[in-house]
Amino acid sequence: MKIWEVHSLQFEGDIRTTPEGDADIAGLVVSEKAYLLAVREFRPAQLVKLVRDEGAQAAAAILIAHYSQPEVIKANAGRGLIAARGHSLDPMVRRSDEEATALATGRQERAKS
């Protein structure tokens, strides 16, 4: 069971697991590593409220901006959050050290087709 599945018990469907295994916070798709990074600073209720109030695109931009601050990056061992392409049209956020893996996977999928 993923940690956000435990958190989802408090929220009526606002946090769930996508078919790809990522977290979906009210329409904002977040990788597992990004979710674990985010909940170190924000409670799940704060993340749900952010996405509800601002929308998924704006919430992604706010989280990415927060995790791009030098002091936040330093506090998180050089890790931040980045925008990424997912399997759906929903905005997606990944941890910055996941970028190479995501791009490599995309290249492999394109090479196979």
- pLDDT band, very low/low/confident/very high, at 46 (cuts 50, 70, 90): very high
Q: Fill in the amino acid letter for 101.
A: T
> For residue 68, what are the domain limits?
3-112
Q: Tell me how many domains the chain contains.
A: 1
Which tens digit of pLDDT belongs to each residue from 10-37?
877 899 999 989 999 999 999 999 999 9
59-110 per-position pLDDT tens digit = 999 999 999 999 999 999 999 999 887 666 678 999 998 854 444 444 444 4
By residue count, the chain amounts to: 113
Q: Is the dihedral of CA 36, 42, 65, 25 positive or negative?
A: positive
Q: What's the CA gap between 104 and 106, in Å, rounded?
A: 5
